[in-house]
Amino acid sequence: MTPPAPRGPLLEGFNLTKTFEARRRMGAPRARVHALDDVSLTVAYRETLGLVGESGCGKSTAGRTLLRLLEPDAGSIWFDGEDITHAVPRHMRALRKRLQIIFQDPYASLDPRMTVYETLAEVLRVHNVCPRREIPARVAELLDTVGLPPSAAGRYPHAFSGGQRQRIGIARSLSVAPDLIVADEAVSALDVSIQAQILELLARLREKRGLSYLFISHDLGVVRYFCQRAVVMYLGRIVESGPVAALFDAPLHPYTRMLRQASPVPDPVQARATVQVTGEVPSPLAPPPGCHFHPRCPLATAICRQERPAMRDAGGGRLVACHLYREEGKEGQASFS
């Protein structure tokens, strides 16, 4: 079933910039990594937005910054029509009920000395979700929602498999009835048969509770299946965004095309077709000037080496940051000159 149509922005980031100081080598000047370099993105109500890219592209930093788990150096964050960039901690705590995050390794975020019941009850208590006497019933309901047996309540995290732990992580994030969940590689560590089960659960929650997701993943197949739109990042910048089918069937940015061609597909004919994949992501400490992708780009020209490409509207809800993108003739027909 397709989720209901989005209606307006829920979580928005405008021109977000975030730098980290790199560890200093002896005598060398302090270097800074631009983890986010002028990143703007919007998750609409009831929308699932994918955020894709390779290791170190800034996708996890983007997710954490949007939740204000990291403070941006510049830019602003809006949630449900309110500027939360500088919201005070007390207010942020109230907002955390509506904004949740689940991680790749739920084991790392679960207290090994607390039973599943204690973990979930604690969240319900801290956030005053319900009267104390209702907590046992709420915990039972949460376990049922995520497909865990009632007996799970008395057990410790180590007693569960990876997929079950992810269900516990999801139950914990649902305990406060959020509007939006940031899922950071939430299914990446799972075997495919289990991955499909967790995606099914996340999709059911989206339907029943009207949830929005910011779905961070390196797996284009999962993003195409689970998300409506996706944003592609490379070295701290957004290079392209758009509806998933158009984005992956007819990429506009050469990097999206490379990523798409390199993504494994279970089809021996396609998988062995010659792919144009060259080079590696350069060090984020010294990103190339101009378009960060130009050293690996088969189409790069002089301007690509000098000027940062602006984000341009490509029609059909698509945006692309490439000097070589040209609109041709009718709307929707675009190609490289």
Partner 1 sequence: MPGDPVLSVQGLSVQFRIGGAWRAATRGIDFDLAPNETLALVGESGCGKSITCASILGLLGGEGARVEGSIRYRGREIVGMPESELEKIRGKEIAMIFQEPMTALNPVMPVGEQIAEAISVHLGCSRAEAKTRALGFMERVRIPAAPERYRDYPHQFSGGMRQRIVIAMAMACQPRILLADEPTTALDVTIQAQILAELRDLCANLEMSMVFITHSLGVVAAIADRVAVMYAGEIVEIAPVAELFAAPRHPYTQALLQAIPRVDRETVTLRAIPGQVPAIAEFGSGCRFAPRCPRASEACQAVPPELAARGGPEGHRVACLAPAPVRERAS
Torsions phi, psi for 238 (to 5 deg): -80, 130
Among 261, 305, 312, 327, binds partner 1 (CB under 8 A): 261
Chain-centroid distance, C-alpha 21: 23
CB 155 within 8 A of CB 117: no
Alpha helix stretches (DSSP H) within the chain: 59-66, 89-96, 116-126, 135-145, 162-174, 192-209, 220-226, 244-249, 254-262, 268-271, 302-306
Among 18, 34, 167, 224, binds partner 1 (CB under 8 A): 224
State phi, psi for 107 to the nearest 5 degrees. -60, -35
Tokens 């597909």 appear where?
265
Q: Report the residue number, 55 or 337, with the smaller CB distance to partner 1.
A: 55
Q: Which of 83, 111, 200, 307 binds partner 1 (CB under 8 A)?
A: 200
> What is the Cα Rg of the chain in Å?
21
Q: Which is nearer to partner 1, 193 or 337 (CB)?
A: 193
Q: Is 316 in the site for partner 1 (CB under 8 A)?
A: no
- Give the separation between CA 1 and CA 20, rounded to whole angstroms: 42
Binds partner 1 (CB under 8 A): choice among 271, 285, 302, 303 = 271
258 contacts partner 1 (rule: CB under 8 A): yes
* Total residues at interface with partner 1 (CB under 8 A): 45
Q: Give the range of 31-39, 124-132, 273-281, 316-324 binding partner 1 by CB under 8 A.
A: 273-281
Which of 15, 128, 161, 335 forms a contact with partner 1 (CB under 8 A)? 161
**Looking at 68-76, 82-90, 168-176, 220-228, which segment touches partner 1 (CB under 8 A)?**
220-228
Indicate the DSSP class of residue 100.
Answer: E
Q: Is the distance from CB of 150 to CB of 158 less than 8 angstroms?
A: no
**C-alpha triplet 181, 183, 188: angle, nearest 5°:** 160
Tell which positions 225-244 bind partner 1, by CB under 8 A.
225-226
For partner 1, the binding residues in 163-182 under the rule CB under 8 A are: 163
In order of 4, 36, 55, 106, 132, the CA distances from 281 in angstroms are 38, 16, 9, 28, 51
Backbone angles phi, psi at 138, to 5 degrees: -60, -45
| Per CB under 8 A, 264 contacts partner 1 | yes
> What are the backbone dihedrals phi and psi of residue 323, each rounded to the nearest 5 degrees, phi first?
-65, -30
- Closest to partner 1 by CB, 225 vs 336, is 225
99 binds partner 1, rule: CB under 8 A: no
141 binds partner 1 (CB under 8 A): no
Assess 221 for contact with partner 1 (CB under 8 A). yes
Which of 270, 301, 306, 335 is the binder for partner 1 (CB under 8 A)?
Answer: 270
Candidates 25-33, 205-213, 268-276, 312-320: pick the segment binding partner 1 (CB under 8 A): 268-276
Judged by the rule CB under 8 A, the positions of this chain that interact with partner 1 are 54-55, 161-163, 191-197, 199-200, 218-226, 245, 248, 258-272, 275, 277-278, 280-281
